[in-house]
Amino acid sequence: MARLVIVSNRVPTPSKAARAGGLAIALKDAIQPGTLWFGWSGHQAPQTSSEAKITNFEGVDYATIDLKQEDYQNFYVGFANSTLWPLLHFRLGLMEFRRENLEGYRSVNEIFAKVLAPLLRPDDIIWVHDYHLIPLADELRRLGVKNALGFFLHIPFVPSSMFAALPRGEDLLHDFCAYDVVGFQTEEHRHDFLDSVRRIIDFPADNDGVITACNGRKVRAVVTPIGIDSGAFRSQAIQAAKSRNTRRLTESLVGRKLMIGADRLDYSKGLPNRFEAFNRFLERFPQHKNAVSFLQIAAPSREDVSEYAALRHQLNRLAGDINGRHGAFDWVPLRYMSQSLARSTLAGFYRFAQIGVVTPLRDGMNLVAHEYVAAQDPEDPGVLILSNFAGVAAYFEEALIVNPYDPDEIAEAMHEAMVMSKEERQSRHKRLFEKLQTLSAQAYCDQFLKALSGAQLTRAAA
Ligand code: F6P
């Protein structure tokens, strides 16, 4: 069987593998003994590594390189997170472009390719993840790598008129087309990508998402939504609900309901809008005062990017305002923590929370929505309030779908969730939970790897 090689900016280094989140969990079923996972170590060093440090953990090889400060700055802080991230989250006003950042981004991709290429075997299947590494396939091809190469974009794609604002954006579209398979979370993201390819670089693309690139080479754009193992997460939630942390949380609420939000501290997550919505909810529906607390967990993220530091200050202030205005000597309406919590702790909190609030302004998918649904007790489930602009909204019609830019609409959904009958909660939850079976981590891996294996066969036959 062909070996799978995963490449991503961050690698769940062995010591963290057991408690790693996100990608490591989504890829659990694809990762077998023998798999190679390659990427950045997460460390800065005096020099960017010219060879990988390889550690084997439970049969999987984790190969990482360090980045020097300048590379970290230009590649990660600069082009990836100050240019591409805001652009692809529809925040042109926050997009900063500097040529040195673009050059740094390209040069780190070149280094990734140079260090990875000697580790590759002829029949490896290579699956590259996310916006940090769009040029990697082209760099590997320049080094003579002939393997099947797939890329999955975890974040949204934007309409072509917006993408056109990116200086040298056409080069990046060519880079996408150096892969054999390019995957997206939703049909909308794929559609917008294909539209950019057609309009900006003039490559024809058919309605099945097959692009004809230079020399007639075919690139397939597919939709393979990421998911979770809902059964495992449900079991984790049932266990965690009996834990000391969940008990402490429930006792501290003294019978009040709980709304919960858990996000990275990122401007794409719409946290100020969410806080304002909770403020409106308390103003417009005062019957719920003292009957509910909102726990918002915001895990600090990308603190070297100035927008993130500014957001942290803004949220501290807003949380203080809300509690100052609405709080009572024995009730804190908004419990706000800018700290991260273990996924297992969150599982118990989700199970207990009557309302899950997932209201990003834009999001590739948002697995918190999946986890909240999976964690619920089907006999007495909570209600999910979900942004129309999270990728998952394309699949979860049974959630209370809101426009995250309208705090009143979120406030109304909060009220609706507070008073929703048990029958309605059960029937919405049942349908959502069924969807989790098709939107599973395993289906994500199977679908993407099937497309990539198809590309490998085509390459072998050529
Ligand atoms: O959702 C996109 C993403 O890049 C994930 O791949 C990653 O786990 C998360 O954001 C955290 O970002 P960072 O690696 O910048 O801390």
User: What is the mean predicted confidence (pLDDT) over 90-113?
Assistant: 98
pLDDT for 29: 85
Which CATH homologous superfamily contains domain 230-438? Glycogen Phosphorylase B; (3.40.50.2000)
Asked, colleague to colleague, whether 4-227+441-461 and 230-438 share their fold, the answer is: yes
pLDDT for 339: 94
First to last CA, the chain: 20
Instruction: Name which residue sits closest to atom 15 of ligand 1, judged by CA.
Output: 302
Residue 262, helix vs strand vs coil: strand
Instruction: Name which residue sits closest to atom 3 of ligand 1, judged by CA.
Output: 154
Instruction: Name which residue sits closest to atom 8 of ligand 1, judged by CA.
Output: 22
> How many CB atoms are located within 10 Å of the residue 418 CB?
18
Catalytic: 415? no
Q: Is the pLDDT of residue 15 over 70?
A: no
Distance 174 CA to ligand 1 centre (A): 24
CA dist 121 and 2 (Å) reads 9
Distance 150 CA to ligand 1 centre (A): 19
| H/E element, 454 | helix 441-461
For 330-370, write each residue's pLDDT tens digit.
Answer: 999 999 999 999 999 999 999 999 999 999 999 999 999 99
For 231-258, write each residue's pLDDT tens digit.
Answer: 999 999 999 999 999 999 999 999 999 9
Q: How far is CA 41 from CA 55, 63, 193, 340, in A?
A: 11, 8, 30, 20
User: What is the mean predicted confidence (pLDDT) over 446-455?
Assistant: 94
pLDDT for 21: 58
Q: Is the pLDDT of residue 16 over 70?
A: no
Which residue is catalytic, options 89, 154, 288, 326?
A: 154
Distance 414 CA to ligand 1 centre (A): 28
Please state the ipTM of this predicted complex. 0.95
Q: What is the CATH number of domain 4-227+441-461?
A: 3.40.50.2000
In this structure, the residues whose C-beta lies within 6 A of any atom of ligand 1 are 9-10, 22-23, 130, 154-155, 301-302
- Report the C-alpha dihedral over residues 237, 396, 333, 285, rounded to 10 degrees: -140
Q: Is the pLDDT of residue 457 over 50?
A: yes
Cβ atoms of 136 and 109 closer than 8 Å: yes
Per-domain boundaries in the chain? 4-227+441-461, 230-438
Q: Which atom of ligand 1 is nearest to the CA of 81?
A: 15
Ligand 1: which of 133, 301, 361 to mutate, most ligand atoms within 8 Å of CB? 301
Distance 131 CA to ligand 1 centre (A): 10
Contacts (Cβ under 8 Å, ≥6 apart) of 132 = 8, 9, 75, 76, 80, 105
Catalytic: 363? yes
Q: Is the pLDDT of residue 196 over 80?
A: yes
Q: Which residue, among 111, 101, 96, 98, has the nearest Cα to 75 in the 3D structure?
A: 101
What average pLDDT does the chain have?
A: 95
Distance 458 CA to ligand 1 centre (A): 32
